[in-house]
Chain A
Amino acid sequence: MSLVVENLIIDHGAIRAINAVSFSVPTGKLTAVIGANGAGKTTLLRGLSGLKEIKSGKATWNGDSIVGKKAENLARAGIMHVSDGKSVIAELTVKENLALTGLWRKDKKDVAAATEEVVSLFPILGERMSQSGGSLSGGERQMLAIGRALVARPKLLLLDEPSLGLAPLIIDQIFNTIKKFVTTMNLTVVLVEQNAMGALAIADEGVVLNLGRVVAVDSAENLLKDPAVRAAYLGY
């Protein structure tokens, strides 16, 4: 039960965005993928969720290959990707946004239960149910995007820069909530972040990407102490 990536190669036009990347994430663990802008972090997640074509290499979730699968089928198999920035449909209400991941699920009782859990995790969403997604603040949008993924009862969560463009106080709140539900829901998480400090603080392990290559894999604790990582990505 884990995510295993081996020698993954993904091209972005003429550029090799992900170059022979290997790492693995054990079940129930949170792995932070950090790196500068353009390191290939977003491309990596888009490859894993089926949005971007994987050129070569292996990627398996619980032993099943995810290479060449359609994004909607991977989503239904429990791999939920919360893409970066405005991953909310502005024209739909908060309630409708949350309902999207429950549409295809057979167990409607559990969809209702999962929705309630999400609302208790992010109470502000409960107050905004009938508002349009476009009327939400940046932090609320991020909560809605994560909440929508959780309604599907995912097993593997791919989070792309949840801290992007948010105020420091909101970032802390989002990171704390992620830490909270990862432990209670036994989720496996790949958290892609430019905010290396915040991400490593809640992660079990870290992968450092630079120009499409893995330059370091270690426990989050060790990476936080590593002088090279500190100088390059933590800024002190």
Chain B
Amino acid sequence: MIKLITTILTALTTGAIYALMSTALVLVWRSTRIINFAQAGQAVLSTYVGYEITVRSGSFWVGVLAAMIFGALLGAVIDRFFMRPIFKRIKSGPILMIAPVVATLGLLGIIQSIIGFKWGLTYQSLAAPVSTDGYNLFNRVIAFSPFNLLVVVFATVSMLLLTLLFQKTNIGLALRASAHSPEIARLSGIKVDLTRTLGWALAGAAGGLAGMLYIPSSYLYPNAMDVLLVFGFVAAVIGGLESLFGAVAGAMILGFAISFSTSYISEKLFFPMAFILLIVVLLIKPAGIFSSKKSRRD
């Protein structure tokens, strides 16, 4: 019983972090139609900034805010001054599908090198604002701490806020219209370039938050979020890449699959499980679990 509860709670915690990463990837995919591999670098650099601010201000919360703001700015700058010129130069042809994605891979390398220059390649640790000791349940310590609870709450609240933004505001409507049909949006008078940059900024903020929530349970180093990028990508593809709902649901399915298989079968399944799930979904429903031909959810 304790094992079952622990497994579920672990699934929720990891799923929440994957959800932030998959949301970041989906936000960029929807606005720009590319998979942004630099997301891991953007998120980890934002976390370094958050870490510095946490150390200097003494407050983890100020650090979270700084990481999100920096992440948003970095995302916006990358889109405006890096991606947009690339798209402007490549008008059509197969290279249009490949070059921007390769560019994000290059950017990932550059960002990680910059981190290496500034902070070195050593592991840093970021203290959690609340206890990371597991709660006591029936006189036994379980693998779910107050910090884990905080992760789940923060991820859930930020997802709800993002959903409200998309569904209930004018900016959200402009973002959705630009994602589904840039041309019609443009002809309707919507500044599509601006909404695209906003999509990158929101993704950057989500990545910064993911880093600040993930690193206290791990260590901070230049490649610290590469695994999260992979898991976030798997979750986004499972969810169909198009919808925020799919990104979160895909992340939760992934979190549960990993947590249950490592806890009940073998710890060694941690990494393979993500790919087993990915391949199964791609074989059965290539467009993602939450896709349907006629309608996409938001």
Which residues of A pack against B, CB within 8 Å?
Answer: 49, 51, 70-72, 75-76, 80-83, 87-92, 96, 99-101, 103-104, 132, 134-135, 148, 152
Contacts and interface: CB of A to CB of B under 8 A. Distances in A.
A83 B295 contact: no
A142 to B, nearest CB: 14
A82 B188 CA distance: 9
Contacts of B176: 91-92, 96
A76 B186 CA distance: 10
Contacts of A91: 176, 180, 295-296, 298
Interface in B185-201: 185-192
A71 B178 CA distance: 13
Contacts of B174: 100, 103
Given A89-B181, A90-B180, A132-B295, A100 B186 contact: no
Nearest to A81: B187
B179 to A, nearest CB: 9
A84 B145 CA distance: 57
A83 B180 contact: no
Contact of B186 (A75, A89, A92): A75
Contacts of A132: 294-295
Given A91-B295, A91-B296, A92-B176, A101 B189 contact: yes
B188 A75 contact: yes
Interface residues of B, number: 21
B227 interface: no
Nearest to B179: A91
Given A100-B184, A100-B185, A132-B295, 16 more contacts: A51-B186, A72-B191, A75-B189, A76-B189, A80-B187, A83-B184, A87-B184, A92-B173, A92-B177, A96-B177, A100-B174, A101-B188, A104-B191, A132-B294, A135-B294, A148-B188
A104 B185 CA distance: 12
Interface in B86-121: none
B187 A49 contact: yes
9 contacts: A51-B187, A72-B191, A80-B187, A91-B295, A91-B298, A100-B174, A100-B177, A103-B189, A134-B295
B267 interface: no
Contacts of A92: 173, 176-177, 180
Counting chain B CB atoms within 10 Å of each CB, the highest count among A72, A75, A83, A132 belongs to A72
Interface in B283-298: 294-296, 298
Contacts of A82: 187
B78 to A, nearest CB: 22
A75 B187 contact: yes
A192 B177 CA distance: 25
Nearest to A105: B189
Contact of A100 (B173, B294, B298): B173
B133 interface: no
B298 A103 contact: no
B187 A83 contact: yes
B189 A72 contact: yes
Counting chain A CB atoms within 10 Å of each CB, the highest count among B180, B185, B186, B191 belongs to B186
Contacts of B186: 51, 70-72, 75
Contacts of A100: 173-174, 177, 184-185, 188-190
Contacts of B296: 91
Contacts of A148: 188
**Which 5 pairs, one residue from A and one from B, show the smallest C-beta to C-beta distance?**
A75-B189, A100-B188, A71-B186, A76-B189, A91-B180
Contacts of B181: 89
B266 interface: no
A87 to B, nearest CB: 6
A193 B281 CA distance: 46
Counting chain A CB atoms within 10 Å of each CB, the highest count among B170, B177, B298 belongs to B177
